[in-house]
Amino acid sequence: MCCDLDLIPSLLGLLFGISNLIPVLDVQYITIVLFVVFRPFLFSVASYFTVQMFGTRQFGTVYGAVLCIAAVISWVQYGCDVAAKSQASYTVINVILTALSAPTLLFPLYLRRQTTALQIRAYVLFCSGSVAISCLQRLS
């Protein structure tokens, strides 16, 4: 598989931010399509990750807290809007938001690396004893 599900929203968000900086009408059509595709992925991966990390019993509480924090952070958009209108350009705001979205690619890659390391450790523990040699041969 080329990329995990959790990497797709990060890539789409970064592509959206980059395409949003290009002032060409045809590219802006692509930007709208990217946003329409990005938004469902963002919410579905957020809920999937919450269920996987906290379980179904805690899902409502944790996901509700995540959405509440997101709502509080979205109040910043009014300040960004006032700043952009005073400069008559959203370019600076878009550059800042794109730069802030770029590090989101690191977390899925970190999770993938941790999962691989845990799988290898579990496999080695499982293969301890007399079958260790045959298990190590299967790894290579």
pLDDT category, 45, cuts 50, 70, 90? confident
Q: What average pLDDT does the segment 83-95 reach? A: 87
The yes-or-no verdict on residue 130 having pLDDT over 50 is: no
Mean per-residue pLDDT for 73-90? 86
In the chain, domain spans: 8-104
* Span between the terminal Cα atoms of the chain, in Å: 19
Proportion of the chain above pLDDT 90, given as a percent: 27
Helix-, strand-, coil-residue percentages of the chain, each rounded to 5: 85, 0, 15
The lowest-confidence range among 33-42, 92-101, 115-124 is 115-124
Q: Indicate yes or no: pTM above 0.85.
A: no
